Structure formats: structure tokens, C-alpha cells
Amino acid sequence: MQARLEIRRFPRAFVAFVLALAAALLLGGSLGYVLKPTTTVSGPSPTVVIPSDQLGGASDNAYKCDLINRHPKGC
């Protein structure tokens, strides 16, 4: 009975394919993010002006809060 030496080769083609796929996904994602169209609103933005007598009788002090360490307290 003879012994046979079995050599398992490293799957270079599979590793190269996986690396190429990962590089293509990263490159495509980054280029898609950089080249995406910007969201713009055409025309002037509308401005709404409400007279103070239409605020329902609320004064300016009703909307002010005491801030302690940037947290509202006593609103």
C-alpha cells in the first residue's frame, strides 16, 4: 500500500473575486454618495408673519423657559 501526499491549494481565485467584489461595492457606494444630486428648493422660501394680536393673548414671557445646564426647567 502506497501513501499519497494530498496537497490542498489555497483558493486564490475565490479570494481575488471576494476582494474585487468588496472593492467594487466600496467604490460604487462612495462614488454614488459623492455624485448624488443635491436636494434644492427652487424659488424663495415663504415667510409667514403673524401679528401679535392674533397669538391668542399669549405674551412673550409665556414662551420663555429657565435653562439650567442647557435643559429646560420650569416651562
Could you list the mean pLDDT of each consecutive 10-residue stretch along the chain, which spans 75 residues? 81 94 96 81 78 61 63 65
19 domain-assigned: yes
In single-letter form, the type of residue at position 34 comes to V
Domain assignment of residue 54, yes or no: no
Answer whether residue 30 is part of any domain: yes
pLDDT for residue 3: 82
Q: How far apart are CA 12 and CA 27, in angstroms?
A: 22
Q: Total domain count for the chain?
A: 1
Q: Has this prediction a pTM greater than 0.85?
A: no
Distance of alpha carbon 7 from its chain centroid, rounded?
48
- Grid coordinates representing 12? 486564490
Do the domain assignments include residue 27?
Answer: yes
Q: Residue 34 falls within a domain, yes or no?
A: yes
In a domain, 51, yes or no: no
Residue 43 lies in a domain: no
- Where in the chain does DSSP place strands (E)? 66-68, 71-73
21 belongs to a structural domain: yes
Its domain, for residue 33, covers: 10-38
